[in-house]
Structure 1
Amino acid sequence: MKDKQDYLKYLLAQKKLTSEEEEWLLKYLNDHDISDIKKIAAEDFETDITYMKKSLDRKQSEEILEKIHSRIYVPAPTFYQTIRLHRLKIAVAALIIIIAGAGYWFMETGVLFTPANKEIVTTGKRKTVKLPDGSLITLEPNSRLVYPQRFTGNTREVNLTGEAYFEVKPNHEKPFIVQTPYVIATVLGTSFNVEAYPNGIAKVVVTTGRVKVQTVNASNELQAVIINANQSVAYNIIINEIEKRNAPEEAVYYKQRRSGKFSYTGVPVAKVVREMERYYHTSVTLEGDMNGCVFYGYFQANDNVERALSLVALSLNATVKKKSNNKGYFITGGTCR
């Protein structure tokens, strides 16, 4: 009926309803025939379809609207508050489902859609991911990151298994939270690295700013540890021990890895090799009297492992050999110059 549809639009456009209008609207919502709502919602659906990122189809939207009456009871104040927020969009009726925990969100346009999380899994290569708030995450190989298509509510939360470097956009009203199987890191705007592989050990190193770290089973805020730039926290779930320490060298390592260039000025070769092992996830053995040698030079993050090792070997007049099991390398025959 055309007049009923027009009246519904009129009611939903009002900032405040009279007691008679409230009674009429609640009676309408309690009726099993909500075909007028479906028609108006369908009009909104067609109008806003271009703004949807991941939507329910038209049939699903109508089915959800159809179930409003049977699934929940909506107190009048809550419903009218929703109406005031969303004005003409009749699809706000479906927003009531969100309050009941059905798992659907609304965009500003009023279109109903399912907020599927995005999942990034890396295997042999690193991957840089830009989050909806502009924060950047560099995900290490063999890691998994899950994050929402848009951040809602009072926090920005992501889930990490493995290792990643975070460059968080400042937002003092919405803390950034990294959930891992072992620890939770909370920041406002900073850069830091998180390791949380499935081995029962987690580690957070801060390069700029400060981070609050607590274990997933912490019962209160007093068990949280605050770390600043050039500090780290390591947690071992097996022995339930958390350790905070200064870590300036590790902070430099993560900064260089993120910048794409590892530079060394008189750094012991043994330390350079350890960082190469860490970066390339391989084994490197120094054969001969080279532990007292130092290295001046650099390698790029996109250099393959053999090229990077050859730069070190060249400075020592040494050679690089692949191990017989193909699971690492030797640097052999070199001396300090």
Structure 2
Amino acid sequence: MQTAKYSNYTLPDFLEDDDFLRFVIRPSHNDTVFWQQVIAKYPQQKETIAEASKIITAYRKQDVFTNEDNQSKVWLRIESTLQKDQVKSKIFTLNRYLRIAAILLLVSSIGISLWLIKGRQNEIDTTFGELRTVTLPDGSTVVLNGNSKLAYSNNWDKNSREVWITGEALFNVKHINKDPRHVKTTERFIVHCTDVNIEVLGTTFNVRNRHDKTNVGLVSGKIRLDYINPVSKSESLVMKSGDYIEYAHKKLVARTKLAAPEKITKWVNHQLVFNNATLAQISETMADDYGYHTAFSDPALSALKIEGEINVPDVDELIETISTTLPVKITRTDKNITITKLNP
């Protein structure tokens, strides 16, 4: 994340920012440090950040509702909370706050508000470089990549089989439906990312949810992807084996067909696989999954590309491959990497 993008953020901007929502709801040490830096660098944003946090916190505490009566109670409780906190009306009226809260609630069908309000009893986190296999109550398995989080509820006998993911995971979903024409609530399997929902009966697929974008690759079976388009209308996309999509900034950025979909799952065996990747893309993966920080002496170096496929078992071999393929010098100290141009 870059602090500069928050310099001119308004209250609605903060309420719609996935990284800020995560910080308020489930702050990590890195999140706390980052937002302290934002406030220190842009002190004029301190009050707006505080107000946004109050609204999200108030909304987070509301009951999940299924009818208009309970919905009214939620709005009344938010209004009461805001009045007690003496939010200044000269910046935004109370009705404005309620509309913002309503917007947060209306998008619950695609993940963000479900992430805010859904009760979860089990949470599994992985550290940088750690792989962990989780067996869900129905026998489905999830392999978590490094620096990833999985959450799910135990009440699968009463509700849909639902999980929440940030980071990267490979899902192998157990098929329990006997009649495809009549799917019971408890037979549905739904994966919630911060921006999309994925519904499936039984299949194998890979999800990577980082940096305000979601990549989904379907290895086998069929899934349905629910998302919001630029004009805030809900849309669905049915994916078949080999389909690969990227969704970011409320739009479908790319949809392609993978020649060898099984390659996107190589990471479960600690394999680092890249295809025609730039140093920027490689360094991003190293940061996300393994906790490495890469600095470039010249920003232009980040655009250098390694043609063809890289398939290596660890970071050491990845660094060696970069050094022998591109005209760069790599200096490494623990998990800090500096890349400079190789002198002729």
With the length of structure 1 as denominator, give the TM-score of the two structures: 0.48
Structure with the higher fraction of residues in helix conformation: 2
State which structure, 1 or 2, has the greater radius of gyration over its C-alpha atoms.
1
